[in-house]
Amino acid sequence: MPDRRLEIDDVRKRYGEVVALDGMTFDVREGELFGFVGSNGAGKTTTMRIVLGVLAADAGQVRWAGRPVDLAARRRIGYMPEERGLYPKMQVRDQLVHLARLHGMPAAAAGRSADAWLERLGVAARRDDEVQKLSLGNQQRVQLAAALVHDPEVLVLDEPFSGLDPVAVDVMSQVLREKCDEGVPVVFSSHQLELVERLCDRVGIVAAGRMVAAGTVDELRADGTERIVVEVPGAPPGWAEDLPGMTVRATEGDRTVVDLAPGADDQDLLRRALAVGPVREFRRGRPSLAELFRSAVSTDEGAPGVRSRTGSGSDTAGATDEVTVA
């Protein structure tokens, strides 16, 4: 059995002068939840539309289970488009059955699947309503049901969490995790980085049409600068400021957060801390995904469609002051 992996390989796309995708490359593995993050206009939607064949790439290839994705393979993908794609005047259940049938499901199975997903996603009571009469959040639940109703082998979801209430976020998260547990590769885009950090097995950060960092959040952290959180009550302001290879990232009360450049010795910092007061805490800090994202994007992103430079997210010179010291 071939590896059930979705591969996006060096995909390129221009809209006139605008370079939307500039060699986009990543893969989503069997049973993996992959978070696709990037600034507005970075190329996420364009990538997803190309995977689905809604849009043609100028160059590059999308493969599923080792083979170029063709029409038949695309029918096995569950897709949630950013612009949403439901017929406003059609009843919810009829719509799901219709979509399942379009994907080749027999009528009875399509009905059973529609009912099961409406129940699972908490919208069974609205099954006979027109889609346009549902709240936006409920329309989104139905949209997810539409992506799932034909029992897809791959899930590609464009901002499935935007606009959902916390309960719906939980339901959506559970459903995506269950699909992964069944072996389905799931890729979704989102600007909700805390959610992505919590939920995803791997994350890809895209800037100006290409992947600038990908891996587990811990792997992305390992690429970056080492960070130390040190608490020294009563230390004078600026006590850690002139140490070689160290940058004070934030000060919060008695706590100072210091980034260490490669080769800098954390023991220098400890000695300095001990010289200025009692050291209550001295530990490694962990940058959040939001910080990793800002760092990767700030080193890589130019104007939309204009390449500035590329990097692996290891340059933290542009990291913001916001620091998670938890």
Q: Rule CB under 6 A: is residue 46 a binding residue for ligand ATP?
A: yes
- Closer to ligand ATP by Cβ: residue 51 or 176: 51
Closest distance of CB 309 from ligand ATP, Å: 18
Find the binder of ligand ATP among 35, 78, 305, 313 (CB under 6 A). Answer: 305
Asked if residue 188 lies in contact with residue 160, where contact means CB atoms within 8 angstroms, the answer is yes
Here the tokens at position 212 are 């600038």
- Torsion angle of the four alpha carbons 91, 96, 101, 103, in this order, in degrees rounded to the nearest 10: 140
CA distances from 159 to 4, 56, 106, 228, 241 (A): 23, 21, 30, 34, 41
Given 40, 71, 166, 218, the residue binding ligand ATP (CB under 6 A)? 40
- Measured CA to CA, the distance from residue 85 to residue 171 in angstroms comes to 21
Q: What single string gives the DSSP state of each residue in 51-80?
A: HHTSS--SEEEEEETTEE--HHHHTTEEEE
Contact between 15 and ligand ATP by CB under 6 A: the answer reads yes
Q: Binding to ligand ATP by residue 20, rule CB under 6 A?
A: yes
Closest CA to 193 of 49, 299, 296: 296
Cβ nearer to ligand ATP, comparing 245 with 304: 304
β 59-64/67-68 pair status: antiparallel
3-class secondary-structure state, position 117:
helix
Q: Which of 11, 28, 33, 42 binds ligand ATP (CB under 6 A)?
A: 42
Q: Which residues on adjacent β-strands are paired with residue 210? A: 207
- Location of structure tokens 């986009």: 24
Regarding 306 and contact with ligand ATP (CB under 6 A), the answer is no
Q: List the x/- string, 66-85, binding to ligand ATP by CB under 6 A.
A: ----------------x---
247 binds ligand ATP (CB under 6 A): no
Regarding 41 and contact with ligand ATP (CB under 6 A), the answer is yes
Rounded least distance, CB 52 to ligand ATP, Å:
13
45 binds ligand ATP (CB under 6 A): yes
Among 304, 307, 310, 312, binds ligand ATP (CB under 6 A): 304
Q: Binding to ligand ATP by residue 204, rule CB under 6 A?
A: no
What residues line the site for ligand ATP (CB under 6 A)? Answer: 15, 18, 20, 38, 40-46, 82, 304-305
